[in-house]
Structures are given as C-alpha cells and as structure tokens.
C-alpha cells in the first residue's frame, strides 16, 4: 500500500491543488484531488488484464471549475434537491441558494465541490480531507466542520467515511457524486451495464424532480432493480416518473435500513467484467443514469455524452426537511454526523 502526493494544478488565485494517489498491492489505484475532495480516477485491471479507469472526470483544474456536473465531488451539507429553496428549523425560516430553475436548492449550491480542502495522509492506505463551511453559507445555519476519509484496501474496497459537526441545529446529508462507467470512461455508454438495487420503493417526484412525499412500489415497473436488470432495457419507458427526469434519476428507498453498513446495490460492466458492489449506512441511494450529460470534454478530451456514466449517490432522501415521514437528517448543534459508503470492485 502507498499514498503519493503530486501537484495537480493551481486555482485562479494561485492556490495549489494536489492529487493523492492511493495504490494497493494489486496496483489498483484511486486518485483524489483537494479541489472538491474529488474522486477523480479509479484504475484496475479488467477480465482481460487491461487497466481501465472507471470514473468520468477532468484532467485539469480549469475544467473541474468550469465544466463540472459534480463529477466525483463531495456534495453537502445537504445533497440532492430541496424544494422551494428554503428550510425551517426550530420555527425559523432559512432561504437557500436557488441554483436550479430559480426555485430549487440543488446540492446546497455546490460550494464544497468548488472549494480547496485541506488534506493529510493518515495511513499507508488513506487520506483525510477537511473543510470548514461558514455559518449561513448558501442559507444553511451553523459553521460546519466536515471531514471525508478515503481508504483503499487490498481487497479493492474503496471506503468513504463522512464526519461533520455544526455549531447550530442544521440538516446534514453528504454524498459523493462519482459518475461510473465500469467499461472505462472512454468506452461509450452504460446502457449495457447490469444493475441491482435492494429497494422495494422509490421516492416519487414531480415535474421539477421534487419529492411529492409518496414512496411508490417498483414492482412491475421499469424501476424494479431488485433482481439484476440491464440499465438500458426500459430507460425510455413511458412511466411518468421517467418522463419527468429523462431517464433514471430517483432515490431508491433501501430495504431494511437500520444505520448499519450493508450491501445495497451491484453493477457490472458488460465489456470489462468489472463488478461494483455498493455498501452504505444510509437509507437511500440516488440512481442517476447521466441523462443530462451533453458531450462536455473529460479526461483526454473524451466527451461525456448522454448516459456515458451513472451515479449511485448514497444519501438520506431528497427534500427530507419538508417530509416528516422520511428518515430525519436534522442534527443538533454539536451532534456528530457520521456515515460510510463503500464501493467494492471485483471481476
């Protein structure tokens, strides 16, 4: 196991951005940069021995800042969407940044993904990234100290542990917005991948992708991934939920949620044979099939076309502050938020 630090580039104001390369004994490696604590690359051998990088992202700071659709970044303090771009805590209303259609707060304004984090090597297999977000940033109360620890084991498990504490009562819900293509970022779309998700229900959304408050059964629909299903099989189905979002972009409600780390999803690249199991301590996972990618240039200039990557963003449900029946992500001042997600890769 080893961790190497290299200069990745410079911010417009001259600040240095570093990349940390964690490599295990089988030469599998994960690369994370201090800009956005971004998981930029994951390289491993496929079934034929060819090394493939299974993450969509960018090669330089400028593109990370100017072109990003959140590729690989840490999102918080509240990921996903908050309807009406406002929340209420202890009877007080907090208007939030309305950065989607002028009516929705998406990914808390995106600050964490566009900021330079501090980083320290904590062991031969792990790096800890930290960031302090100001009280009131994008409308959210409390100064928030955030830590994200990436650890890569010899078992090809990439652990991502999140910790945060706020000086005021606030909502906390962190995720990583990695876009995966298990055939390699330069190998076309993900429609031939197979996927399973341990969820009987999805969170129903309206035409603006805001939860209605209902969780609806997947049985008999294009959303039934309880058994392995080809992603592209029904992605253009007439189901109104798919029409609203242009394909899969929904929260799946994990069966049997109890806060422990457990396997919730499996995806496999049909060309590479690379399989990814997903484990999390959280109650939901946003399956997004890259419907809104529009050909922006990524690594080595390879365009990120529509559906060339997919996301499995572990989370509390979207718009939780407005739905008392959803698992709560309201944390008291000084109360520590902790969650963990693991992406396990094999052949």
Q: What is the mean pLDDT of residues 329-342?
A: 98
Query: Residues 273, 347: contact at Cβ < 8 Å?
Result: yes
Q: Which residues pair with 7 in a beta bridge?
A: 18
CATH for 2-346 is 2.70.98.10
| Tokens describing residue 82 | 């908050």
What is the reported pLDDT for 314?
A: 98
What is the reported pLDDT for 74?
A: 98
What is the reported pLDDT for 213?
A: 98
**Tens-place pLDDT, residues 94-138:** 999 999 999 999 999 999 999 999 999 999 999 999 999 999 999
Q: What is the mean pLDDT of residues 227-236?
A: 98
**Mean of per-residue pLDDT scores for the chain:** 98
Burial category of 240 from C-beta neighbours within 10 Å (exposed 0-12, middle 13-18, buried 19 and up)? exposed
29: left (phi over 0), alpha (psi -120 to 50) or beta: beta
What is the reported pLDDT for 320?
A: 98
Phi, psi of 181 (to 5 degrees): -135, 105
What is the reported pLDDT for 226?
A: 98
Sequence ranges of the domains in the chain = 2-346
Query: Residues 77, 113: contact at Cβ < 8 Å?
Result: no
**Tens-place pLDDT, residues 258-302:** 999 999 999 999 999 999 999 999 999 999 999 999 999 999 999
Distances (CA, A) of 249 to 8, 168, 230, 242, 264: 32, 32, 16, 8, 17
Give the residue numbers annotated as catalytic, written as ranges: 177, 313
Phi, psi of 321 (to 5 degrees): -55, -20
**What separation, in Å, do the N-terminal and C-terminal C-alpha atoms of the chain show?**
21
pLDDT confidence tier of residue 317, bands split at 50, 70 and 90: very high
What is the reported pLDDT for 114?
A: 98
Tokens 């309206």, residue located? 206
What is the reported pLDDT for 220?
A: 97
Q: What is the mean pLDDT of residues 26-52?
A: 98
Q: What percent of the chain has pLDDT over 70?
A: 100
User: Cα separation of 199 and 11, whole Å?
Assistant: 41
Q: What is the mean pLDDT of residues 301-321?
A: 98
Q: Among 248, 302, 311, 288, which residue's Cα sits nearest to residue 67?
A: 302
Contacts of 243 (CB under 8 A, 6+ apart): none
């Amino acid at each position: 196991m080893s961790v190497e630090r290299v200069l990745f580039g410079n911010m417009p104001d001259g600040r240095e951005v570093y990349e940390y390369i964690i490599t295990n004994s089988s030469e599998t490696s994960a690369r994370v940069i201090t800009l956005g604590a971004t998981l930029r690359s994951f390289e491993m051998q496929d079934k034929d021995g060819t090394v493939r990088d299974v993450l969509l992202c960018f090669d330089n700071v400028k593109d990370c800042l100017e072109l990003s659709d959140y590729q690989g970044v840490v999102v918080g303090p509240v990921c996903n969407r908050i309807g009406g771009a406002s929340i209420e805590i202890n009877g007080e209303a907090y208007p939030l940044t309305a950065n989607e259609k002028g009516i929705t707060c998406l990914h808390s304004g995106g600050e964490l993904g566009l900021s330079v984090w501090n980083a320290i090597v904590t062991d031969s297999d792990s790096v800890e990234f930290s960031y302090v977000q100001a009280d009131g940033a994008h409308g959210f109360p409390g100064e928030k100290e955030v830590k994200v620890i990436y650890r890569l084991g010899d078992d090809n498990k990439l652990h991502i542990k999140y910790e945060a504490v706020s000086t005021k009562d606030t909502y906390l819900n962190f995720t990583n917005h990695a876009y995966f293509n298990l055939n390699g970022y330069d190998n076309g779309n993900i429609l031939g991948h197979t996927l399973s998700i341990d969820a009987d229900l999805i969170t129903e959304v309206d035409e603006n992708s805001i939860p209605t408050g209902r969780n609806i059964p997947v049985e008999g629909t294009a959303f039934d991934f309880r058994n392995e299903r080809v992603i592209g099989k029904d992605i253009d189905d007439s189901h109104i939920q798919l029409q609203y979002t242009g394909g899969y972009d929904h929260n799946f409600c994990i069966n049997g949620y109890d806060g422990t780390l457990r396997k919730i999803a499996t995806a496999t690249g049909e060309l590479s044979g690379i399989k990814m199991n997903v484990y999390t301590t959280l109650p939901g996972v946003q399956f997004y099939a890259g419907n809104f990618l529009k050909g922006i240039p990524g690594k080595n200039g390879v365009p990120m076309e529509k559906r060339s990557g997919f996301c499995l963003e572990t989370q509390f449900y979207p718009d939780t502050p407005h739905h008392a029946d959803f698992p709560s992500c309201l944390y008291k001042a000084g109360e520590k938020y902790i969650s963990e997600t693991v992406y396990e890769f094999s052949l």
